[in-house]
Structure 1
Amino acid sequence: MDGGPTDGGVTEVLRWAAFSCALAPAVLLWYGTPPADAAGTALGLAAVTGACRVLLRQSERGAARLRAEERVPHRGRRRRTGTGAHRGHRHPGGTTPAD
């Protein structure tokens, strides 16, 4: 992990998801659901949790990349001071210096 501000939140979400993957089948078994159904539920929850984990990590990497790009100035780019502010171009209707 890169130690970013959201790492704790993502880790916490993943812990709760893992806990739910274990708790849901246990509750189903407690209430008399057949073991095969409880195991199928556990596998389904684990698959969804894994997919969410991949998406969260991908999102974190994208956000970290954007933050890094914001900190590094772009090379070779010049700022415009306004519309039409091009060097060396004459604009019609402009004033000329008086002699």
Structure 2
Amino acid sequence: MPSSRPTPEAHAGDERTTELIRWAAFSCVLVPVVLLWYGTSLAGTAGTAVGLAAVTAVCRLLLRRSERCAARLLDDAPPPGVPHRGRRQHAGTGSHRGGRHSGGGSPVG
């Protein structure tokens, strides 16, 4: 049974994501302040702030979803040293189907 503890690589990914989201939130505050400083209207600044917050929220959602999918793929991966077989590759007898076969069950006419 695989352990539910995050690997060091997964932990580093979480830290990078958190840091990225912090910078995005910081810019969501900084950009409207700069716009106000340079004389942009309050309505324009508010619209920009709402737009930046929406984009940041969607990016955060997509980033977290991507991390979950990557973690799921890593959990499903075969252990190192085990060869990966494609979807249609089967081992053992009877794996080759549909070709010409000589002898055996062919009717004699």
TM-score normalised over the length of structure 1:
0.70
Q: CA deviation at 1:80?
A: 3.4
Structure 1 segments unaligned to the other structure (5+ residues): 93-99
CA–CA separation in structure 2 for the residues paired with 1:67 and 1:54:
20
| Residue 80 of structure 1, aligned match among 86, 91, 94 | 91
* 4+ runs deviating over 4 angstroms: none
CA–CA separation in structure 1 for the residues paired with 2:14 and 2:78:
20
CA–CA separation in structure 2 for the residues paired with 1:11 and 1:71:
29
CA–CA separation in structure 2 for the residues paired with 1:71 and 1:11:
29
Q: CA deviation at 1:79?
A: 6.5
Could you say which structure has the greater relative contact order, defined with CA pairs below 8 angstroms and 6 or more residues apart?
1
TM-score normalised over the length of structure 2:
0.64
Task: Give CA deviations for 1:66-85 in whole Å, capped at 9, x if unaligned.
Answer: 01001579xxxx9638xxx6
How many residues in Structure 1 have an aligned counterpart in Structure 2? Answer: 83
Identity of aligned residues (%): 53
